A and B are shown apart, each in its own frame.
Chain A
Amino acid sequence: MATTIPTVGNNTYYTLDGLNTINLELLNPLGYFANYAITIESPVYESLIASIGSEPNFTLADFVLWCQPFQELMQDGEDSSLYNLFMAFLNIAKIKVKWEIVQDEKTWKRLVALYIGHYMEINIKAIKDEENKLSLVVDNERKEETRRLEYVVGNEMFKDFRATMYGSQFWYEYEPYGRFVSGLWGTTIL
């Protein structure tokens, strides 16, 4: 774990820790090129991994609590046509909305629900396909109607999230956490 704070299980440091240090030693003609281990016995903080714990279970019930309109659409559980999509998004949501960052069960569950709700909203619009773009049928009667999706899936994530009801709620809550998430912006703490 890349941290300078000594915690239980992560309290040993090496003098040749990191490529930069190794390169400096190589460039020093009088250097010993020895790797010393320094272990701090005390004070040592509690292990971060132990205190964070594993992420809670997230169920369909947690989802429909925050995204109420989906309750009817999901009333038949796995027999609902959108259930597979929900489960696929849940697996991704648990990667994107990191439990290690939020660490509060109620907030984390709401964030995961809103994240899924955001993408479900987009997908339902796509599935409805009111423009008949995904149809092989020629529908001349609809030509005069110019429907278009209200959102633009852009390169910037926050614009994307703010395009839907659930996405904007999600980003309002998650933005402060977002700066610590690797791959988004900022750096990861784990």
Chain B
Amino acid sequence: MSQPISHISENQQIILEARGLTKVFGGLVAVNNISFTVYQDEIFGLIGPNGAGKTTLFNLITAMLPASSGELFYQGARISRLCCHQIAGVGIARTFQNIRLFGELSVLENVIIARHLHIKSNLLTGILGLSLSVSEEKKSQEKALELLELIGLSDRSTEKAQNLAYGDQRRLEIARALALEPKILLLDEPAAGMNPSEKKQLSQFIRNIRSLFNLTIILIEHHVPLVMELCDRIAVLDFGELIALGTPAIIRNDPVVIEAYLGS
């Protein structure tokens, strides 16, 4: 299962940088002074035991939670003061660990909603049905159908999202995030609840979408073999602290990581 990684060279362009990110809930330090950089086009893994602060870190990056301190930079520009919808506008899209689809709406509508930022028409031009807005609507529908094709759900586009099987819902969340045309895609446990063969397909799928859409991908995953095989670099969190960061080969043999996972 080994395959050549390291297309990441030293002078790779930095797309996302965290400096001293910290989040405190009452007395609990969920994320403690974490700094790291993510390079353009890489698949960056985030692992760690339960409660290590991985999802909290995602919530800080996407501004769903305000950071207690620390800063975030996207291609050199500070984004740590933005609201969550502005982060989406910058080009950072995410999926959720506990699936957050618009369950009552159809599969297609879920994806079309995420085209929000790519439709210019406003209330007035939309309601009047001016030709520009009509063509925009048509285009966004086509785009959404393309994405459904990609994840293999195009024949179920009229179904309610909540009626899909669990794995399909996870893939629909990815399609919805891709509809934003992001530069960075954050995947929160994309393989959760999938069987081994689905997991294998998933890692191929993630590589595919990276090259198709020129994405940088940051993913949280518990399934260690998947992360080791898929990621270019891996960051390990434990009790809110970054305890290791490096290529899978380095991480696998790091004594601190082994201790965090297996106990001393």
Do A and B bind? no
